[in-house]
Structure 1
Amino acid sequence: MRTERVADTDVRFRRGGAGSRAVVFVHGFLDDQYVWDGVVGELGGEDIETVQLDLAGLGERTDAEGPFTLDRFVSEVGAVVDALGKPVVLVGQSMAAPIVELVAATRPERTLGLVLMTPEPLAGTHLPAETVEPFRRLGGDPRAQREVRRRLSSGLGEADLDRLTVIGARVRPEVVRALVDCWDTGHRDGERASRYTGPVLVIRGGDDGFVTAEDAERVRRRFVAADVAVVDGAGHWAHIERPTAVAALLDAFLAGTPAAGPAAPRAGRQRWRTAFTDKSADAFAQAFAEEVVLEATVLTRPVEGREQVKQVLAAASGIYESLEFTHDGSDGPRTYLEWKATAFSGMPVQGVTVLTADDDGRIVRAAIHHRPLGAALRFSHELRARLQGRIDPACFYDGDPRPA
């Protein structure tokens, strides 16, 4: 193992092994980077490097100053990913699951996959005050911390409990309160489908009383391509309780994750989804190459150039009342996205979008296929009205907006 530091920060990370891709492990509430040692020691996959780090206020960084927020943690873990300079699989336990998801969403071209271990929801738990307050008071109370861990686990031995209690007891009370606020309040992105569209594995302990089967399923449903695995005989700290079983799940996940991965189409797909979520012309502009071409069922002819295309798609995203990407796939530089939506007071619209990305992950061509015909014609007519004076009206349908 070797330790490195992110330039001009107090963020240090340990690197072990060598490979064309890295597995970055991020610990959860009251824990530190060393809780992953058992899993790391059991990994059998080849061509991987392992990376572990402490979040601010925890582990070897208990003296760090605040603020202790999700945004700060995402920024620091993202900086570690950037420093590695290679594709990564991100693994986050409990409170760290939202952190690694947000890192992946901002670095789709670098992230090969996500593993969410006994995950807190990105939207937050929003526990009743009488339930969350005992967690906020855990700072400076080792006995209470030990009892919480014992209650939420089934496979932690006395030595494990001793070690974890020592780690948690070092965390300042004000940091504990801030961390609880992080995972209880959550992040606004959790109220919608995840911006990360790559492969995801959700792992829960079969005896976890905090993250139930229903909770894990709610997390899974936010992703386009996610599976749930259960570790029997383990609770909330499955990676410590059953490290061999968790390592086997990680090895299987890594075996299905290409060493380099289709970075360009993955990045293009991510930028496309993000732009439709944000519904802004600027967000679409960031997704497109300068000479992008847009073709669509709702257009009578292609629209060309970033400035023109971003106007059309920003207007189109505003027409949808809801939009869900249901399936996707890639073939070389192309990505295929199947979606369903509603518009015009609940009218169902479905379709398939084909995106072609360049080597930098910028979209150079988008082809959007709408159905049924009536919805497509009404959509085109509405775009014509909304883009009057900005886009040539000859690009749109000008007949009856509600054909029989």
Structure 2
Amino acid sequence: MHPTHSTQPTLVFIHGFLDGAQIWDDVTRHLGHRADGALCVDLPGMGARADEPGPFSLDRLAADVTTQVRALSRPVVLVGHSMGAQIAELVAQRLDQQVRGLVLLTPVPLGGAGLPSEAMSAFHAIGGNPAAQRELRRNVLVSLDDTRLERLGQLGDRVAAKAVGEFADLWNAGHPSGAEPSRYRGPVLIVRGDGDNFVDFAMISSGVMPRFKAPAIASIERAGHWPHVEQPLAVAGVIGPFFANVEHAPNVAHQPDAPVAPQGWTRAFEQKSADAFADSFAASVVLEASVLAKPAVGIEQVKTVMTTASKIYEALSFTHEAHNGLRDYLEWEVQAFGGERMRGVTVLTKNTAGKIVHVAIHHRPLGGALKFSAELGRRLQGTVDASLFYPGV
């Protein structure tokens, strides 16, 4: 039988690497009635199921959760942390319209973190080594006291030493479907810890955001890689409104995407005009970008750089957008240098008057970004400080 979709959705929480279902206790407590009937899963080989043997794979873990969620016979909102975010997305792909919303908390990209073997050796080494496990966690936490760190560590202690490295390799290698846009088309909320030095904004903007059409973004202050443990009230505070919106909205999983709404920034690119850019900026605006060796500061310098940059593009398309308070996130695709394609994310921070005070532009791939920077420097030679740009490549 297919699930009945007329009932209210249920929250389903999927933990990450070396954790367990109980890690969500504080978040569900703060969510109150919204967490009534919530399902907090223990993944095979971890948590209360740490004794279950391998081999493990992301597909095995996702199939296990899919079976549990399908048995609920009601719509759900999936919440996945880190490696659990990879599994949540795979489950969402399998369950189609039963999944009304997807919350990805400090998510490792479905395509994997891609860390080199020397970096992964630290994750393999914590198997059977409680002190090393706690130290690794401490390095990616911001505000966690020793008592709660010990609670985290005890969850990891349950996992078989051999399985620790196996699980680490799973999230690092990722899943083949992570190389293409997500097949899940419903509402998505991405939540990051503002002090997370593992899943940082660069990883999210390059490996997670582009996979979805219009993800919402939230940032948790004073939190690292475990914001649901470090700041559970704040995490509940962003999941709650997202859940409420999904709860009262029709199932929009297969509705066509809305175009990016025109605004001052996108219109300035259309006009390729310094005046158009200036109209959007506050006087003290700062521009940081992967094509700049250091920030451009002030409206005159920033509008000059942006106007010149807009003229290098042969074609520009804004593809997705998201909003979080005074921040706008815009994904784009461009063509330059006789057909070379680049993609990226722009983050615009505005003041209460609606003027842009900070711009952060992330280009990829690296080779295209360096070539673009060198071309900017060539065109602005004698006009803008040459130290802003990378030398020719």
TM range, normalised to the smaller chain?
0.5 to 0.7
Partner of residue 236, structure 2? 247
Q: Which amino acid aligns with 2:238?
A: L
Partner of residue 265, structure 2? none
Distance 1:211 1:46 in 2: 28
Of the three residues 51, 69, 72, the one matched with 1:84 is 72
Q: Which has the higher strand share?
A: 1
Task: Summarize the Cα distance change of 1:108–1:325 in structure 2 as closer, same or farther, 3 Å threshold.
Answer: farther
CA shift at 1:110, angstroms? 0.4
Greater CA drift, 216-225 or 31-40: 216-225
For each residue in 1:5-30, what CA deviation from the matched residue of structure 2 results, as whole angstroms up to 9, or x when unmatched?
A: xxxxxxxxxxxxxx721100000001
Partner of residue 111, structure 1? 99
Distance 1:234 1:211 in 2: 12
Distance 1:37 1:162 in 2: 16
CA shift at 1:173, angstroms? 1.3
Say yes or no: does 1:23 pair with 2:11.
yes
The equivalences for 1:2-401 within 5 A come to 20-44=8-32, 46=34, 49-218=37-206, 219-259=208-248, 261-262=250-251, 266=253, 326=319
CA shift at 1:106, angstroms? 1.6
CA shift at 1:225, angstroms? 2.0
Distance 1:43 1:84 in 2: 20
Percent of residue pairs identical: 43
**Following TM superposition, where does structure 1 have runs of at least 4 consecutive aligned residues deviating by more than 2 angstroms?**
44-49, 258-262, 265-270, 324-328
Q: Which amino acid aligns with 1:254?
A: F
Q: Is 2:28–2:35's contact at 8 Å kept on the other side of the alignment?
A: no
Distance 1:22 1:75 in 2: 19
- In the alignment, structure 1 segments of 5+ residues that lack a partner are 1-18, 271-323, 329-339, 349-404
Task: Summarize the Cα distance change of 1:234–1:227 in structure 2 as closer, same or farther, 3 Å threshold.
Answer: same
For each residue in 1:199-252, what CA deviation from the matched residue of structure 2 results, as whole angstroms up to 9, or x when unmatched?
A: 111111111110111112221121012021110000000000000000000011
TM-score normalised per structure 2: 0.62
Distance 1:20 1:215 in 2: 34
Q: State the superposition RMSD in angstroms.
A: 2.8
Q: Which amino acid aligns with 2:220?
A: V
Partner of residue 4, structure 2? none
Q: Which amino acid aligns with 1:109?
A: Q
Q: Is 1:203–1:228's contact at 8 Å kept on the other side of the alignment?
A: yes
Q: Is 2:144–2:230's contact at 8 Å kept on the other side of the alignment?
A: yes
CA shift at 1:49, angstroms? 3.0
Distance 1:166 1:46 in 2: 28
Distance 1:108 1:269 in 2: 16
- In the alignment, structure 2 segments of 5+ residues that lack a partner are 1-6, 258-316, 322-332, 342-393
